[in-house]
């Protein structure tokens, strides 16, 4: 059954070789697709040989991929939701993309029910400081996550690395802090270097990545992996933003009332920037009409 396989892989993770960890990572996060795989196709997905896949499964106690499929048959009704047919020549690309997004969303919500979720949420809540970094064309992901998290808890920063040293993250964080690193294929060189430096300094680390990042669990138990969508030329960032929304809402539930902080942020924005349209209080005054808006009335012409 699914949970038995997951438990087996996680409990023996430290004994696996690098190649075996690649296979284990793929199996952990793509269980729904195993019925449609062979040893050769699994090997191709993770970059190892079919022989390596077969040897790995035998070490786990399976005769082969067929034996693993047999064990998972108890989950067959659930797994049928993920079965896709071979695309026709005039396949509906939009419809196929929609189905891929739905499958990915299901996998994201499954993460929120996993054993790793609660400790990660507690770490984000209890840390005295949270530093977030993301890389390359996905840098906006970390910036958005940090900005949202900053609304619900204090001392959150996005580290761009523009100073060339990630000073705020590495020198100002302690064992009571938390670092969040976000990246997806192809990974920035900074991603792993920074992760290793964070761990070496004893700073708690959360890695948010995809299922191809086999080394993430070597560095930290706090890992959230989204499934890779094979056959697509570009990333779907919607899956990650859904994951971020789930995390933020979980942090809010853990912290309790955060309306006071949100209200203060809103007041500061009104003071420095201002809003257009009526306020939530229903007063209906456009931005800039309050008596404390810091502007002067124009002088009357004589």
The pTM assigned to this predicted structure is 0.65
Specify if 12 maps to a domain.
yes
Specify if 208 maps to a domain.
yes
Q: Are residues 220 and 284 in the same domain?
A: no
Of the candidates 237, 255, 273, which is a domain's last residue?
255
Q: Are residues 46 and 62 in the same domain?
A: yes
Specify if 102 maps to a domain.
no
Q: Are residues 150 and 130 in the same domain?
A: yes
Of the candidates 27, 60, 81, which is a domain's last residue?
81
Structure tokens at 9: 């892989």
In DSSP terms, which residues pair with 133 in a beta bridge?
181
Q: Are residues 42 and 65 in the same domain?
A: yes
In contact, 252 and 152? CB cutoff 8 Å: yes
Structure tokens at 19: 């190649």
> Based on the structure, what is the number of domains in the chain?
3
Residue-number span of the structural domain to which 243 is assigned: 111-255
Q: Are residues 207 and 147 in the same domain?
A: yes
Q: For residues 101 and 234, what is the distance between their CA atoms, to the nearest angstrom?
A: 13
Question: Over the stretch 243-297, which tens digit does the pLDDT of each residue have?
Answer: 999 999 999 999 887 888 888 988 898 889 887 766 655 544 444 444 444 444 4
User: Which one, of 108, 139, 127, lies nearest residue 198 by Cα?
Assistant: 127
pLDDT of residue 229: 61
Structure tokens at 52: 């390596």
CATH number of the domain bearing residue 194: 3.40.50.10490
Q: For residues 9 and 129, what is the distance between their CA atoms, to the nearest angstrom?
A: 32
CATH number of the domain bearing residue 67: 1.10.10.10
Q: Are residues 166 and 196 in the same domain?
A: yes
Q: How far is CA 112 from CA 90, 99, 226, 243, 248, in A?
A: 37, 21, 12, 9, 12
Q: For residues 117 and 126, what is the distance between their CA atoms, to the nearest angstrom?
A: 14
Q: Are residues 56 and 174 in the same domain?
A: no
Q: Are residues 74 and 198 in the same domain?
A: no
Q: Are residues 142 and 211 in the same domain?
A: yes
Collect the ranges in the chain with pLDDT lower than 50. Answer: 75-85, 283-297, 302
Of the candidates 81, 97, 122, which is a domain's last residue?
81
Place of tokens 């560095």: 219
Q: Are residues 149 and 20 in the same domain?
A: no
Q: Are residues 59 and 123 in the same domain?
A: no
Q: Are residues 132 and 242 in the same domain?
A: yes
Specify if 69 maps to a domain.
yes
């Amino acid at each position: 059954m699914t949970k038995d396989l997951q438990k087996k892989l996680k409990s023996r993770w430290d004994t696996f070789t690098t190649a075996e960890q690649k296979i284990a990572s793929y199996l952990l996060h793509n269980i729904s697709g195993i019925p449609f795989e062979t040893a050769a196709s699994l090997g191709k997905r993770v970059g190892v040989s079919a022989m390596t896949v077969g040897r790995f499964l035998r070490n786990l106690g399976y005769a082969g991929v067929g034996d693993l499929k047999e064990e998972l048959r108890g989950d067959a009704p659930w797994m049928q939701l993920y079965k896709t047919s071979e695309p026709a020549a005039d396949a509906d690309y939009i419809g196929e993309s929609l189905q891929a997004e739905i499958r990915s969303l299901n996998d994201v919500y499954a993460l929120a029910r996993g054993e790793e979720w609660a400790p990660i949420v507690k770490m984000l809540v209890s840390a005295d400081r949270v530093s977030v970094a993301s890389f390359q064309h996905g840098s906006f992901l970390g910036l958005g996550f940090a900005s949202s998290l900053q609304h619900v808890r204090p001392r959150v920063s996005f580290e761009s690395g523009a100073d060339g040293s990630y000073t705020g993250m590495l020198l100002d964080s302690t064992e009571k802090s938390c670092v969040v690193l976000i990246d997806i294929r192809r990974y920035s060189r900074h991603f792993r270097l920074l992760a290793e430096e964070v761990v070496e300094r004893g700073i708690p680390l959360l890695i948010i990545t995809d299922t191809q990042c086999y080394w993430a669990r070597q560095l930290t138990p706090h890992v959230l992996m989204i499934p890779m969508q094979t056959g697509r030329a570009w990333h779907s960032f919607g899956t990650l933003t859904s994951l971020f929304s789930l995390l933020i809402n979980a942090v809010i539930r853990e912290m309790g009332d955060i309306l006071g902080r949100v209200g203060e942020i809103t007041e500061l924005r009104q003071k420095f920037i201002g809003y257009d349209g009526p306020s939530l209080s229903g007063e209906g005054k456009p931005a800039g009409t309050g008596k404390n808006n810091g502007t002067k009335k124009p002088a009357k012409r004589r």
